[in-house]
């Protein structure tokens, strides 16, 4: 839990809307936050060595196409 991207405080309403949905099924309503959301998603998946399914990868590529090309820094979990 040392990486602040692991847990982000949100309103109860946002938490209910997202629930346990993947990036393929839910994105933040604030369009300007979607690049950060996708970056955080990738960082957490990478940190913990989690798989990414084809639909998820397609969605992340689609989001990333509209984002600045910024490197993502990740500290791998031990």
Number of domains making up the chain: 1
Residue-number span of the structural domain to which 28 is assigned: 1-78
In whole angstroms, give the CA distance from residue 8 to residue 26: 16
Question: Which tens digits make up the pLDDT trace of 35-55?
Answer: 999 998 999 899 889 999 999
Check residue 20 and give its pLDDT: 75
pLDDT under 70: residue ranges of the chain: 1-10, 15
Check residue 34 and give its pLDDT: 93
Q: Enter the pTM of the model.
A: 0.79
């Amino acid at each position: 839990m040392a990486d602040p991207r692991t847990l982000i405080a949100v309103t109860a309403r946002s938490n209910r809307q997202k629930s346990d949905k993947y990036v393929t099924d839910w994105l933040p309503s604030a369009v300007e936050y979607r690049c950060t959301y996708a970056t955080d998603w990738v960082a957490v998946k990478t940190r913990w060595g989690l798989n990414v399914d084809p639909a998820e990868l397609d969605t992340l590529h689609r989001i990333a196409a509209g984002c600045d090309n910024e490197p993502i820094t990740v500290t791998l979990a031990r």
